[in-house]
């Protein structure tokens, strides 16, 4: 490969001897030839290729004899050539002393790759531009990763928006159900209808939560809040969470656990979620009235927890596939009950985040199945105590702010039936006026409101001297970790995701009541 002399290392003021010049050029040529990850070549002043390196051949597919003498626009897409882009690059390099760009380039076989391109002028002894040196780097892999990241980000944003849009109409329905639960005059028929609606709302809410969790896990945005937890506590909470589905199908759960406490490091909420999903799965694919077994044992420092059912079983070749996202467990004949195929994939991801494993086993179709979780446990360490969340009596003044009138009115009715004094505002300006004369102990504020959103309203209310002890709680359909961080940074005391569960609302009211009792 013949390189222009101006590409060699700078010379001293003394003229080099022919031997030194030849040695320098040989060293330079060896260096360029050794570079395989970059295409390095030179152009004449008119853009025709005048030298070619092994790295250029490797990247673009042309041998030196095929390409030297051709115009370098051969590497550009037809659209770029038609727009005059190659000549524009040379004009910029000539005028500015350097040109750098990224874009699609074409290999000899017609395939495209994403390239980072740098063009610098080559000057002759009179400092006139005699040609150009061009360095090209293949950035296709980086661009692919950026596109994957962007796609993941768009999916997360879509799921968060979907969650918000679904949760908002669910909120007044959940509030209405809770109101009906407080009404002791309901007929048995109405109570059964209420329970049926409650179960379907819970199911839809859980599907939304699972979809969001899958998206967060895929993008590495799930963090665990680890502490010492007790196995029996996890099992009891998991059964309680799955109780509506179990009761509906008349199924009983038999529990066999070690007599002595078994503690291990885990995120209690996430592990209960895993057990709840496994119990829902067992209930769904088992006959009504059947029994489900939960058993646990410790071997050395390894905890093994099993959930077994008497259901439809699993084919041997599907035992691993069922943990893949959107793969359904049930046979075709039961496809109407199969769900989205999210739960087991989510279980595996959450268990593995804890450093554990989960596997499925079955003797075949119609012979039931067992799901086994293995996790490291802790010897002789008690579980962390949980703060007292028992309800406290005493009426509170509560301000509810939500532009969704059904959601605001139904929540206000529920709070009033629980014995509290409630004021309602449907937009920020009204909320500000009410708050200064009402002096609420608790303000439940929707975030996504028109004109004045929840963040702006919070800033105004926190500056009011009449509200020194008010507890401000964000009430929103957005529930991702970043959303919690945003509301916390803005100054909200808590973040509640719609539809608000009755138990969560009662715990919040109890917490505020205790603050007042302590004079805070």
Indicate the domain borders of the chain: 5-138, 228-386, 397-517
pLDDT band at 256 (very low <50, low <70, confident <90, very high): very high
Q: What is the mean pLDDT of residues 136-161?
A: 81
Does residue 42 have a pLDDT over 70? yes
Does residue 6 have a pLDDT over 50? no
Which tops the pLDDT comparison, 221 or 307?
Answer: 307
pLDDT band at 479 (very low <50, low <70, confident <90, very high): confident
Tell me the CATH number for domain 397-517.
Answer: 3.40.50.2300
Listed residue (140, 82, 89, 147) closest to 116, CA to CA: 140
Listed residue (462, 464, 465) closest to 490, CA to CA: 462
Does residue 390 have a pLDDT over 70? no
Q: What's the confidence (pLDDT) of residue 408?
A: 93
Q: What is the mean pLDDT of residues 419-447?
A: 94
pLDDT band at 319 (very low <50, low <70, confident <90, very high): confident
Q: What's the confidence (pLDDT) of residue 191?
A: 87
Q: What is the mean pLDDT of the chain?
A: 84
Q: What is the pLDDT of residues 171-217, one digit of tens each?
A: 888 888 889 988 888 898 988 888 888 877 877 777 777 777 766 66
Q: What's the confidence (pLDDT) of residue 288?
A: 93
Does residue 333 have a pLDDT over 50? no
Does residue 380 have a pLDDT over 60? no
Beta strands in 285-403 (DSSP E): 291-299, 302-309, 357-361, 369-376, 397-401
pLDDT band at 434 (very low <50, low <70, confident <90, very high): very high
pLDDT band at 116 (very low <50, low <70, confident <90, very high): very high
Pick 5-138's CATH classification: 3.30.450.20, 3.30.365.10, 3.40.50.360, 3.40.190.10: 3.30.450.20
Does residue 13 have a pLDDT over 80? no
Residues 6+ apart with CB under 8 A from 487: 447, 474, 476, 495
Q: What's the confidence (pLDDT) of residue 445?
A: 97
Report d(CA 436, CA 320) in Å as an integer. 60
3-state secondary structure of 479: coil
Q: What is the mean pLDDT of residues 468-491?
A: 90
Q: What's the confidence (pLDDT) of residue 519?
A: 74
Q: What's the confidence (pLDDT) of residue 3?
A: 42
Listed residue (473, 500, 507, 520) closest to 392, CA to CA: 507
Question: Residue 185: enclosing H or E segment and its boundaries?
Answer: none
CA–chain centroid gap for 392, Å, is 36
Q: pTM higher than 0.85, yes or no?
A: no
Q: What's the confidence (pLDDT) of residue 18?
A: 56
Q: What is the mean pLDDT of residues 393-411?
A: 89
148 burial via Cβ count (<10 Å: 0-12, 13-18, 19+)? exposed
Does residue 340 have a pLDDT over 70? no
Beta strands in 284-368 (DSSP E): 291-299, 302-309, 357-361
Name the percent of the chain lying above pLDDT 90. 49
Q: What's the confidence (pLDDT) of residue 119?
A: 96
Report d(CA 55, CA 57) in Å as an integer. 5
Q: What's the confidence (pLDDT) of residue 349?
A: 87
Report d(CA 496, CA 504) in Å as an integer. 8
Report d(CA 153, CA 220) in Å as an integer. 11
Q: What is the mean pLDDT of residues 128-132?
A: 94
Tell me the CATH number for domain 228-386.
Answer: 3.30.565.10
């Amino acid at each position: 490969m013949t390189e222009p002399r101006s590409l060699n290392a700078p010379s001293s003021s003394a003229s080099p001897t022919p031997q030194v010049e030849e040695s320098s050029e040989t060293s330079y040529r060896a260096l360029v030839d050794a570079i395989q990850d970059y295409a390095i070549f030179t152009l004449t002043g008119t853009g025709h290729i005048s030298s070619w390196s092994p790295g250029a051949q490797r990247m673009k597919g042309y041998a030196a004899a095929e390409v030297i003498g051709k115009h370098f626009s051969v590497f550009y897409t037809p659209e770029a050539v038609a727009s005059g882009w190659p000549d524009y690059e040379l004009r910029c390099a000539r005028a500015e002393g350097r040109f750098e760009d990224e874009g699609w380039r074409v290999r000899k076989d017609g395939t495209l790759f994403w390239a980072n391109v740098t063009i610098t002028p080559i000057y002759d002894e009179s400092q006139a531009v005699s040609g150009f040196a061009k360095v090209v780097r293949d950035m296709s892999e980086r661009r692919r990763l950026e596109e994957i990241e962007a796609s993941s980000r768009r999916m997360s944003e879509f799921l968060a928006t979907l969650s918000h849009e679904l949760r908002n109409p669910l909120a007044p329905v959940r509030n209405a159900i809770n109101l009906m639960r407080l009404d002791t005059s309901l007929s048995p028929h109405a109570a059964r209808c209420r329970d049926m609606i409650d179960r379907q709302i819970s199911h839809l809410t859980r599907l939304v939560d699972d979809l969001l969790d899958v998206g967060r896990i895929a993008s590495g945005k799930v963090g665990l809040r680890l502490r010492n937890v007790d196995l029996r506590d996890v099992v009891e909470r998991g059964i309680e969470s799955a109780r509506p589905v179990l009761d509906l199908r008349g199924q009983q759960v038999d529990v066999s656990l070690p007599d002595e406490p078994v503690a291990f490091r885990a995120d209690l909420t996430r592990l209960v979620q895993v057990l709840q999903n496994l119990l829902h799965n067992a209930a769904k694919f088992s006959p009504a009235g059947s029994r489900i077994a939960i058993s646990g044992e410790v071997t050395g420092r390894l905890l093994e927890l099993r959930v077994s059912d008497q259901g439809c079983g699993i084919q041997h070749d599907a035992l691993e596939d069922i943990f893949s996202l959107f793969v359904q467990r049930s046979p075709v004949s039961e496809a109407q009950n199969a769900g989205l195929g999210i739960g087991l994939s989510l279980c595996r991801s959450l268990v593995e985040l804890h450093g554990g494993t989960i596997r499925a086993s079955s003797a075949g179709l119609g012979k039931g199945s067992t799901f086994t979780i293995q996790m490291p446990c802790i010897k002789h360490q008690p579980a962390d105590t949980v703060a007292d969340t028992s309800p406290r009596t005493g009426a509170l003044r509560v301000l509810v702010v939500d532009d969704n009138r059904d959601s605001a009115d139904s929540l206000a009715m529920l709070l009033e039936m629980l014995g509290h004094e409630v004021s309602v505002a449907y937009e920020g300006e009204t909320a500000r006026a009410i708050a200064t004369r009402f002096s609420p102990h608790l303000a439940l504020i929707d975030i996504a409101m028109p004109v004045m959103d929840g963040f702006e309203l919070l800033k105004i209310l926190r500056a009011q001297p009449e509200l020194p002890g008010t507890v401000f709680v964000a009430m929103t359909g957005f529930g991702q970790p970043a959303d919690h961080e945003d509301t916390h940074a803005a100054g909200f005391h808590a973040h509640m995701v719609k539809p608000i569960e009755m138990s969560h609302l009662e715990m919040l009211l109890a917490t505020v009541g205790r603050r007042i009792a302590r004079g805070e």
